[in-house]
Amino acid sequence: MAFEPREPQKELKYQDLRIYSDQELKNYTEEELKNFKIKHKTPMCDELEKGPWPSFVADTKREALHRKKLSGDRLMVNSDVAEDLLGQLERSFKDGETHWKHGGIVGVFGYGGGVIGRYSDSPEEYPSIAHFHTLRVNQPASKFYSSDYLRSICDLWEYRGSGLMNLHGSTGDIIFLGTTTEQLEPIFYELGHVLQQDLGGSGSNLRTPSCCIGRARCEWSCYDTQAMCYELTHYYQDELHRPAFPYKFKFKFDGCPNCCVASIARADMSFIGTWRDNIRIDQDAVKAYVEGDIAPNAGAHAGKDWGKFDIQKEVIDLCPTRCMWMEDGKLMIDDKECTRCMHCINVMPRALRPGADTGVSILFGAKAPILEGAQMSLLTIPFMKVEHPYDNVKAIVDKCWDWWMEEGKNRERLGELIQRYGVPKFLEIMELPPMPQMVREPRSNPYIFWKEEDVPGGFTRSIDDYRKRHKR
């Protein structure tokens, strides 16, 4: 069953939603900024303003000046919140330890995620960040925003929060950094009812699903990453907002093995676009690359002279499975040996394209290094066709969650559970037959053990019949 919105989305117009006037938004000069000093001394933070790159310290000071010049009734959170933030950061640098107290009961009505409680442990020195709660705002698929939308949420957050935000957190959400407990419900109301915007996931929830830019701009996308991300986000609303998992769980959607959202390294369930037919080759374009008429890598890395393009050295010899060669001036590929690494396609995008029979590979269990070290996800379903409303995918998700919720220990990620029970047990739960493509480390660990009931006659059968055909 597909998700149906209860009412159509309205178009947002900043003119109708804005809180601040143009004068209020541009309320200081660069000259004033140069002379502006925040109320705390922050020599170590100031070091981070040096150098040619952007600096969050410089940005935070701008915000501090901007807020200082807005009148008090135009802000619901203290105007010097950004100054206290830098003050406490300086102190943490000096002490070599954090001064945040982590976690709390704060939340918004009916939701178990999306709000993360933060409190300063030194509220006497830094009173404006005594409460400094974070909100996660669920980004739209592929992070397409209109400027009307961005301006509107910036105004909302200036008014009801610290004005400081982080685009984007590692799960993709917009992170609102720092507000007080009283402001949480009003922000939640404004986001949901006016800006038609949900919170993202945090805690032992499904985390905000995220996807690569996919078919919106990328010719390599083997399925519609945005449609799938959108559908699963809505379908699993309860899991996103009301925690009942042993720990966090992430879905990430990459349109091809280039893995732009790094699903293979970060998601408990990674969806990676792939194809099962052959790489499509345009031999004329191959020739044009060889003759130097088309720049390799679509012109990237052009800052240095790498010499003439050498297809043997730069493509064929770098193919990880050595399945390419030249024959009579033509590029040949033994597609059944190709692991879909994308290297040759990335180098010669006008000559080579992914196949036309496309779908996804599904992998399970990636995670960051907290327990047992970092882990990439395990290729479990080499190929599956996916079409809206993705019922075949949902069936797999449900099976996997049922097992993890039943057997997972507190704070145990799916990848650790698979490690604890072993891959054969996981495959049994998922009702999948083992196959060569799915072993953890291809070509180094091929062992899948037989169970007695899988062997005709069991382990104790007589081998006389076998011996008749095979002498000792």
Partner 1 sequence: MEDIKKAILDFAETSKKTKFYFNDMEKAVKKVMPDIKAREIKKAATALVNEEKLVFFSTGSTTMYGMKGRGQTEDH
d(CA 58, CA 212): 30
134: tokens are: 């974070």
CA atoms within 13 A on the CB side of 146: 9
Does residue 113 bind partner 1 (CB under 8 A)? Answer: yes
Contact 203, 410 (CB under 8 A): no
How is residue 109 annotated by DSSP? Answer: T
How is residue 142 annotated by DSSP? Answer: G
Q: List helix spans (H) across 220-318.
A: 225-235, 237-241, 263-266, 283-290, 311-314
Report the partner that residue 321 touches, choosing among ligand SF4, partner 1, none (CB closer than 5 to 8 A by kind): ligand SF4
Question: Which residue's CB atom is positioned nearest to ligand SF4?
Answer: 255
Largest CA distance in the chain: 97
How many Cβ atoms sit within 10 Å of the Cβ of residue 452?
9
Does residue 102 bind partner 1 (CB under 8 A)? Answer: yes
d(CA 39, CA 36): 10
d(CA 171, CA 55): 22
Show the site string, 116-155: x = touches partner 1 by CB under 8 A, - = not: xx-x--------------x---------------------
The residue from 204, 233, 258, 358 that contacts partner 1 (CB under 8 A) is 204
Contact region for partner 1 (CB under 8 A) — 14-22, 33-41, 199-207, 299-307?
A: 199-207
Does residue 168 bind partner 1 (CB under 8 A)? Answer: no
The residue from 68, 101, 234, 276 that contacts partner 1 (CB under 8 A) is 101
Report the partner that residue 365 touches, choosing among partner 1, ligand SF4, none (CB closer than 5 to 8 A by kind): none
Closer residue to partner 1 (CB): 176 or 289? 176
CB of 108 to ligand SF4, least distance (A): 33
Show the site string, 227-266: x = touches partner 1 by CB under 8 A, - = not: ---------------xxxxxxx------------------
Report the partner that residue 411 touches, choosing among partner 1, ligand SF4, none (CB closer than 5 to 8 A by kind): partner 1
Q: Which amino acid is at 44?
A: M
Report the partner that residue 247 touches, choosing among partner 1, ligand SF4, none (CB closer than 5 to 8 A by kind): partner 1
Does residue 188 bind partner 1 (CB under 8 A)? Answer: no
Identify which of 95, 153, 108, 104 has the alpha carbon closest to the alpha carbon of residue 130: 104
d(CA 335, CA 332): 9
d(CA 286, CA 269): 36
Q: In Å, how far are 118, 124, 244, 343, 444 from 208, measured between CA atoms?
A: 20, 36, 15, 30, 35
CB of 208 to partner 1, least distance (A): 13
CB of 455 to ligand SF4, least distance (A): 36
Q: In Å, how far are 215, 245, 252, 396 from 415, measured between CA atoms?
A: 29, 14, 15, 16
Burial label for 93, CB within 10 Å (0-12, 13-18, 19+), is: middle
Closer residue to ligand SF4 (CB): 86 or 362? 362
Place of tokens 């698929």: 141
Report the partner that residue 107 touches, choosing among ligand SF4, partner 1, none (CB closer than 5 to 8 A by kind): partner 1
How many Cβ atoms sit within 10 Å of the Cβ of residue 408?
19
Footprint of ligand SF4 (CB under 6 A):
212-214, 218, 220-221, 254-256, 258-260, 319-321, 323-324, 333, 338-345
DSSP class per residue in 77-90: S-TTHHHHHHHHHH
Residues between 402 and 441 with contacts to partner 1, criterion CB under 8 A: 405-406, 408-411
> Please, what is the angle between helix 414-421 and helix 423-430, to 10°?
110
CB of 258 to ligand SF4, least distance (A): 4
Peptide bond into 234 cis (omega under 30): no
How many Cβ atoms sit within 10 Å of the Cβ of residue 20?
16
CB of 280 to ligand SF4, least distance (A): 12
CB of 433 to ligand SF4, least distance (A): 25
Q: How many residues lie near partner 1 (CB under 8 A)?
A: 35
Contact region for partner 1 (CB under 8 A) — 114-122, 224-232, 329-337, 430-438?
A: 114-122
Does residue 186 bind partner 1 (CB under 8 A)? Answer: no
Contact region for partner 1 (CB under 8 A) — 111-119, 137-145, 186-194, 268-276?
A: 111-119
CB of 234 to partner 1, least distance (A): 18
Does residue 299 bind partner 1 (CB under 8 A)? Answer: no
Residues that bind partner 1 (CB under 8 A): 101-107, 109-113, 115-117, 119, 134, 181, 202-205, 242-248, 405-406, 408-411
